[in-house]
């Protein structure tokens, strides 16, 4: 993207506490997906906008929920204040609780789905992609980080992120599993996770690691019918003039 004066004004983050904070226009897009006020129980004391800003801050900076320090019992009360999340946000336990809740009930998936459709329409594409690009990345993890396996190809012991995007780079689906699962075996799980939100996705661009019948022919039990896969390079975004193309 060329940085013109109009583009600079559009993406300007001046006036925000942190660059990851939401503008009023951005919050207006997300607010309809937030849970309503509960009729019973303890009243809400933290604005959901601040919760989402704290989550975006964590994603932007990669910081921990808190620092785990070995301190004497007399200093434990002070240690509780040593959170990695800035004090302007809610306590990390509150932010963490909402984050896990939004992951479980599908709030984050619904937000991403609607934003992807809107971004595609702005780019002159159909709202639902018909083609995608699938790939994976293995990262090292510790035993405390959950299940992990060994990726023999990349010589990494940890977990693997399996991601599928549309042909212009928008996130369509993601699945995390241990790194011991090969790409061609993990691909059906990713396709299965996106079939309800993106029913028209039929063509998938993949590298040679996905060669095999599981992705090429499709699996009725795990995918959305037969998929066509290709190891060819993804065509440039400007090479297609059809509005309804991937």
- CA distances in angstroms from 181 to 74, 136, 139, 164, 184, listed in the order given: 46, 11, 13, 16, 8
Q: What is the mean pLDDT of residues 128-153?
A: 87
Q: In this predicted structure, what is the pLDDT of residue 87? A: 80
Q: In this predicted structure, what is the pLDDT of residue 220? A: 38
Three-state DSSP class for residue 149:
strand
User: Up-side HSE of residue 232: CA atoms within 13 Å toward CB?
Assistant: 8
Mean pLDDT of the chain: 81
Q: Dump pLDDT digits (tens) for 59-94.
A: 888 877 776 555 555 555 454 445 577 888 888 889
Q: How far is CA 194 from the centre of its chain?
A: 13
Q: In this predicted structure, what is the pLDDT of residue 193? A: 87
Instruction: Sort residue 62 into left (φ over 0), alpha (ψ -120 to 50) or beta.
Output: left
Comparing 230 with 168, the larger pLDDT belongs to: 168
Question: Does pLDDT of 199 surpass 50?
Answer: yes
pLDDT band at 230 (very low <50, low <70, confident <90, very high): low
Question: Does pLDDT of 108 surpass 80?
Answer: yes
Q: What is the pTM of this model?
A: 0.75
Q: What is the mean pLDDT of residues 204-222?
A: 68
d(CA 146, CA 114): 31
């Amino acid at each position: 993207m060329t940085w013109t004066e109009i583009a600079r004004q559009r993406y300007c983050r001046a006036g925000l506490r942190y660059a990851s904070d939401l503008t009023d226009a951005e919050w207006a897009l997300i607010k309809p997906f937030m849970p309503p006020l509960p009729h019973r129980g303890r009243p809400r004391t933290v604005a959901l906008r601040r919760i989402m800003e704290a989550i975006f801050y964590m994603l932007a900076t990669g910081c921990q929920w808190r620092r785990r320090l070995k301190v004497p019992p007399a200093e434990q009360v002070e240690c509780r204040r040593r959170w990695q999340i800035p004090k302007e946000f809610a306590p990390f336990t509150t932010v963490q609780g909402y984050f896990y809740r939004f992951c479980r009930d599908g709030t984050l998936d619904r937000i991403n789905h609607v934003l992807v459709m809107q971004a595609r329409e702005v780019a002159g594409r159909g709202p639902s992609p018909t083609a995608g690009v699938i790939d994976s990345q293995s990262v090292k993890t510790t035993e405390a980080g959950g299940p992990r396996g060994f990726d023999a190809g990349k010589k990494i012991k940890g977990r693997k992120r399996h991601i599928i995007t549309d042909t212009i780079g928008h996130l369509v689906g993601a699945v995390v599993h241990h790194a011991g699962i090969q790409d061609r075996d993990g691909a059906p799980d990713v396709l299965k996770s996106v079939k309800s939100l993106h029913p028209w996705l039929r063509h998938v661009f993949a590298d040679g690691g996905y060669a095999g019948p599981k992705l090429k022919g499709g699996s009725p039990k795990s995918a959305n019918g037969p998929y066509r896969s290709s190891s060819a390079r993804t065509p440039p975004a400007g090479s297609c003039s059809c509005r309804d193309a991937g």
